[in-house]
Amino acid sequence: MTDDPTVVETRNGPVRGLDDGITKSWRGIRYAAPPVGELRWRAPIPPQPWTDVADATVFGPVAPQPGNPVIRLGPDVVQDEDCLSLNIWSASTVEHGDRRPVMVWLHGGAYVFGSSSQPLYDGRALVSDGDVVLVAVNYRLGALGFLDLSSCSTDQRRFDSNLALRDIILALDWVRDNIEAFGGDPDRVTLFGESAGGSLVTTLLTIPSAGGLFARAIAQSSPATSVYDSARAARVAGMFLEKVGIAAADVAALANLEVDKIVAAGQALFSEVPATSPGTLAFAPTVDRDLLPDYPLETYRAGKSHPVPLIIGTNKDEASLFKWMKSPLMPITPAAIRSMFAEIASEQPELNLPSEAEIGSAYTGMKLKAAGLAVARDIGFRMPTLWLADGHSAVAPVYLYRFDWATPMLRALRVGATHAAELPYVWGNLVVGSKDITFKLGGMKVGKALSARMQNRWIAFAVDGHPQGLPGDPEWLPYESGRRSTLVFDRQDSAVDDLDKELREAWGNDVLNFR
């Protein structure tokens, strides 16, 4: 071997990273074989071992995806199906065998966009104090990661379900087997993610084969009910085959279909499905009764989720970003909301859905457009989070939060504490690129202080499962059915009992799985 401290021996082979004197990093480490050819739409398998030292100084390719001006993938990005890699950061002082707590990140992006190498997710600020080792995972996206073609399997060509979830489980296997060589503790892994990444976290908490792979979890703005059954997955699969011009009898041809055609067909479905069926997505986890045995919220309600401590929460103005982007993903207009509820009622007649008047009681005094945004926020994010907290708190401590802070610029733009607004504070990367206008009207001093508080709580949770803050910060009590304590992150943080009382009473306790 070598005296280079960035050369680490993994079970697959040695890798060489970077050390800038403050932090070390290893980028683009392969954790799976390339999912191409006959492995396309199949469960991932471990990579072939190597003997020469692999270069881990540059990020690996990102999953093929459409362009999105809101999601900055970073300079010199290469898109390729061979995207199943992960990145690791630690303080320069961390050494082999140190057994520091580990945080494993799952990026968001509506199951279609994003990567672990986005500049926003640069891990240096989070690890520079040496408290944790950080891992960020790439997984397959869009049609390549969430299209369930298992209904099209034949004797000659088999397809697997929930590919992205299987990717993440294999990556967690890799962390368990290798992270100690990077100074991490495989027995203290915290899985955390936001938006689609948050939903993957809340889903993995209910997958039997993920048990024991992480000891704590953090779910930021999880659309926990965006999980669909095999019948709906089969319908989307049929729509996809029609888009790419391949008959069901000729599915073997999918192995050689050009990636650009797959991405284009996926993008078309990404827009069309929520437009025709408000509140639903083309791509999301599937209840396949194999990897994922049941709807996650049903598992939480039954008290059968993995009993690990959980931080979970949402942002005050989740839906405003989707309105600003003119995104079809969330039903915001009264007509779209009514259409969504009509579809839920027809597909799930056993549910005791609240009436329009009952729901409206939680939004009295709001103008129609504002009420539509609030309903979209709550059915998409806040209510599933509360239902999940109620269920999971029976098996493990749950720490509920709401992120309310918005800079003067975000308030002026009327997006407020919108979806993903908390990310810069968690990561400590408050300004990402010269075009970032978040702090153009001020707020940086407050933002830095808020970031320090959030990072301290996230790291404290990773250390011992208790997200307690700095001296003088309010105590963050576990969420229990009596007090229902919530920590509100704002200019000044506060702990509030039963913050969502009116919402809970208006919406009721039924779990809405958009099947």
Cα–Cα distance between 513 and 515 in angstroms, integer?
6
Domain presence at residue 168: yes
Cα–Cα distance between 186 and 173 in angstroms, integer?
10
CB contact burial 131-153 (16+ within 10 A = b; e otherwise): bbbbbbbbbbbbbbbbbbbbebe
φ, ψ for residue 67, nearest 5 deg: -70, 145
Domain presence at residue 74: no
Catalytic residues: 195, 318, 419
The distance of Cα 411 from the centroid of its chain, to the nearest Å, equals: 25
Domain presence at residue 79: no
pLDDT digits (tens, 9 = 90+) for 225-259: 899 999 999 999 999 999 999 998 899 999 999 99
Cα–Cα distance between 316 and 488 in angstroms, integer?
9
Q: How many domains does the chain have?
A: 1
For residue 132, what is the domain's CATH number?
3.40.50.1820
> What is the predicted pLDDT for the residue at 406?
97
Which amino acid belongs to residue 156? Q
Beta strand extents in 22-112 (DSSP E only): 23-30, 54-55, 85-91, 100-106
Cα–Cα distance between 453 and 434 in angstroms, integer?
25
**Between vectors from CA 159 to CA 85 and to CA 274, what angle results, nearest 5°?**
80
pLDDT digits (tens, 9 = 90+) for 274-330: 988 888 899 999 999 999 999 999 999 999 999 999 999 999 999 888 877 677 777
Cα–Cα distance between 169 and 175 in angstroms, integer?
10
The distance of Cα 490 from the centroid of its chain, to the nearest Å, equals: 23
Q: Which single residue is written with the structure tokens 């929460």? A: 313
pLDDT digits (tens, 9 = 90+) for 24-47: 999 999 999 999 999 999 999 999
Domain presence at residue 199: yes
Domain presence at residue 253: yes
Helix (H) or strand (E) holding 424: helix 423-427
Task: From 175, 109, 100, 101, select the one nearest 137 (Cα to Cα).
Answer: 175
Angle formed by the axes of helices 334-347 and 368-377, to 10°?
40
Domain presence at residue 133: yes
Neighbours of 352 (CB within 10 A): 7
> What is the predicted pLDDT for the residue at 336?
76
Cα–Cα distance between 264 and 244 in angstroms, integer?
9
> What is the predicted pLDDT for the residue at 515?
39
Domain presence at residue 76: no
Domain presence at residue 72: no
Domain hosting residue 197, numbered range: 7-66+95-507
Q: Could you tell me the sign of the dihedral formed by the alpha carbons of 208, 210, 215, 216, in that order? A: negative
pLDDT in tens, the chain (515 residues): 467 889 999 999 999 999 999 999 999 999 999 999 999 999 999 999 999 999 999 999 999 999 988 888 988 899 999 999 999 999 999 999 899 999 999 999 999 999 999 999 999 999 999 899 999 999 999 999 999 999 999 888 999 999 999 999 999 999 999 999 999 999 999 999 999 999 999 999 999 999 999 999 999 999 998 999 999 999 999 999 999 999 988 999 999 999 999 999 999 999 999 988 888 899 999 999 999 999 999 999 999 999 999 999 999 999 888 877 677 777 777 777 777 777 766 655 665 667 777 777 778 777 766 778 888 888 889 999 999 999 999 999 999 999 999 999 999 999 999 999 999 999 999 998 778 889 999 999 999 999 999 999 999 999 999 999 988 999 999 999 889 999 999 999 999 999 999 888 888 776 655 43
